[in-house]
Chains A and B, each alone.
Chain A
Amino acid sequence: MKRLVVVDVNKCVGCQLCMLACSRRFGVVGHNKSAIWVRSAGGFERGFTIAVCRACKDPPCARVCPTDALKVREGGGVILNPTKCIGCGLCKEACDIGAVMWDYEVDKPVICVHCGLCVNYCPHSVLSLEEVV
């Protein structure tokens, strides 16, 4: 099993190609379906902060979900079952690193599935897909 890793955030240039790639999984152009979020660390000069699921082995988001909509993924992290999700937002609150994004269109969370698509479009080798040991 693989997981997405932020290798070196200092090399990030803030192009947001990773975010665009993630939304593109759903045939959408935008940032609204992206499970990865790049923002400046208080102004561009200070570099960037990347929030994305780090594939916890015992993810708090899954533990707080009242409807069992988040299943723990083999290799860490979670898989969302949208039909079960009621959009209560508890998972978003439970994630201290802010890696549970929100899709305002459907009012449900967006969480990284560690597919690695974004890695292919990061021009500066900030992201990588690594085998979970």
Chain B
Amino acid sequence: MDWFKSLSNVLYVDLTRKTFWVESREDLFSKWLGGIGVATQLYKEEVPKNADPLGPENVAIFAVGPFTGVHHLGSKTIAVFKSPLNNYFSESHAGGRSALAIRFAGYGAIVIKGSSDRPIYLIINDGKVRFRDGSILWGMRSTETVGRILREVSPGPGHRAIMRIGRAGEKLVRYASVITETYRHFGRLGLGAVFGAKKLKAIVVVGLKGFTIPDISTYRAVYNEVYELAVKSPAMKKYHDLGTAANILALNSIKALPTRNFSSGSFEHAGEVSGEKLAETVLARRVACAGCPTACIHIAALREPYPEEPYFYKMKFISYDHEPLYSLATNLGIGSRDGFLKLLDAVEEEGLDAISTGVVLAWATEAFSNGIITEKELLTKPSWGDFESYIKMVRNIVIQPNEFYRTMALGVDEVAKKYGGLDYAISFNKVEPAGYHTGPLYIISLLIGSRHSHLDSGAYSMDQELLAAKKPLPTPQEAVEKIIEEESWRQILTSLPVCLFARGIYKPEMVEKCFKPLKKEVSAAELKKLGREIWIEKQIIKYSEGFNPLELRIPKRVLETPTPHGVVDENYVREALKYFNLVVNLSSKLK
């Protein structure tokens, strides 16, 4: 089948009526490419303005694109849904085998609508969707066991993705994740709770089909060119060697590593939980997303003795990155590698977003030491570094034994609004941040981004570049322009979609070139324009859902703790938000 025809197939699954159908959406894929571009339009079609994120009117959209499986690092799936954490249009990206499985199953996007009356899981294979009874899997304690069972009962090993939720999703924790291939996550913004509300335990996608490329000789040439860049460039080598965990020491050295609930930018035990140290001591294996030569996924082995039985051990394998190292180690004052790994393991078993969970725990630690909450609510006495208490708390966020933990499950914003300590409840537009305290540009980007990943616009690295070049801060207006420009281009990268770690390879001219074998003529300039258009589309949706940048809360703590650029001036950030608002209003009028 021709690449474009197969890409344009959108699979709709209605969980309420247990039906499915396929529509050819060449209209969407020719204009918006794929990935975030197409998913945004599908969201617009499907989700009414006042939709309840946990109601049947919300959807879970998974989109891939023209580069999926075709070009190197075309390994990402873009999920779009209305977030139960902040109530806005949201996106979350993950790799594993998900992207190639969806693409080779013969789809460009999957739209999950409605909600089931009882637990189910889906097997998408060979043009059909099977609705399978999920009651046995529901309530199972570990997402790993769920994965193991689904591997046994589903077809297509090596050609499939197994996306599932843990108990956290079932219990509607607003920052529950969807896990794919055990080690990759649609982590941010609560897609797991959206699944849970739909009573959808898992989706297995089997991809056994292929498609043709119109100009195969040009294809081979650019494929080889990108391959050389992907395997030889030092930037990509960095991701393979230490992975993103290499950031820990780098950030620590410039005092931009969030520590103990953002009360400091450096951690005295950073060396113990650094990428270097982990690689030296516990790294067991590196793996790759399908279609990626880089292999940035780092898996640690944790050997745990059974206390009662001598010489009995369990081996646990846990993947680590920069983000969980910040949220579940430095930001909780944990300098013990084993302690960190055990805590992360509990978070993974339950299917929680590691970032949000860590920030919620950090707030609770401080609230407890300030006497706002007591052991009566917490059922334990947490203190910095005490990973055992944190593991108990993680379980309780999911089990929700009392009113306090039911509120913890709603996110740091909600729990602090109810119990106090808002000044040190670290969230931006109600979402707990990724692990950087680099300066004002990053803070601005967190307030206005829609994915709440540090990769939205990479403003954390803009902060660092300014520092390295010893340049003064741009004006707030210039800062916003810079962020929007970068974020707009990233709309293209995530419409193709390619992994953002390959952003250095996929410059506009290279993307233009990579379209050639597909016989799709699109110039670098047109691509940039389209990126901006996708970005505006997203803003318009968010605004229609009530987003107002002028009313955002900026946690006092992040304005107090110095960044490498010094203490961030609130006025600077507020000015930037005003300007951002102006830009969006103007752009949407021009549209």
A123 on the B face (CB < 8 A) = yes
Contact at B211–A29, with CB atoms within 8 Å? yes
A27 vs B2: C-alpha distance when bound (angstroms): 11
Q: Give the contacting residue for A27; candidates B216, B286, B287; CB below 8 A.
A: B216
Contact at A27–B212, with CB atoms within 8 Å? yes
A2 vs B212: C-alpha distance when bound (angstroms): 29
Contact with B along A25-43 (1 / 0, CB 8 A): 0011111110001111011
- Smallest CB separation, A12 vs chain B (Å): 9
B3 on the A face (CB < 8 A) = yes
Taking CB as reference atom, which chain A residue is nearest B181? A44
Contact at A17–B220, with CB atoms within 8 Å? no
Q: Give the contacting residue for A15; candidates B157, B291, B299; CB below 8 A.
A: B291
Chain B neighbourhood of A17, CB < 8 A: 291, 293
Query: Size class of B's contact patch?
Result: 35 or more
B33 on the A face (CB < 8 A) = no
Taking CB as reference atom, which chain A residue is nearest B126? A104
Cross-chain pair count, CB within 8 angstroms: 97
Chain B neighbourhood of A23, CB < 8 A: 210
Contact at A15–B209, with CB atoms within 8 Å? no
Contact at B231–A43, with CB atoms within 8 Å? no
Contact at B286–A13, with CB atoms within 8 Å? yes
Contact at A15–B295, with CB atoms within 8 Å? yes
Q: Give the contacting residue for B231; candidates A14, A30, A104, A123; CB below 8 A.
A: A123
A89 on the B face (CB < 8 A) = no
Taking CB as reference atom, which chain A residue is nearest B159? A31
Contact at B284–A45, with CB atoms within 8 Å? yes
Chain B neighbourhood of A42, CB < 8 A: 148, 151
Contact at B3–A29, with CB atoms within 8 Å? yes
A40 vs B223: C-alpha distance when bound (angstroms): 26
Q: Mind listing 30 A-B residue pairs with CB under 8 Å?
A: A13-B287, A15-B288, A15-B291, A15-B292, A15-B293, A20-B291, A23-B210, A27-B213, A27-B216, A28-B210, A28-B211, A29-B210, A29-B212, A29-B213, A30-B69, A30-B104, A30-B208, A31-B100, A31-B208, A32-B208, A32-B209, A32-B210, A37-B158, A38-B158, A43-B147, A43-B151, A44-B285, A44-B287, A121-B293, A123-B230
Inter-chain pairs besides A20-B291, A30-B211, A32-B104, 11 sampled, C-beta below 8 Å: A27-B213, A27-B216, A28-B211, A29-B70, A29-B211, A31-B158, A31-B207, A42-B148, A44-B181, A44-B287, A45-B317
Cβ-closest 9 pairs across A and B: A30-B210, A39-B158, A45-B317, A15-B288, A13-B295, A123-B293, A13-B288, A32-B210, A28-B210
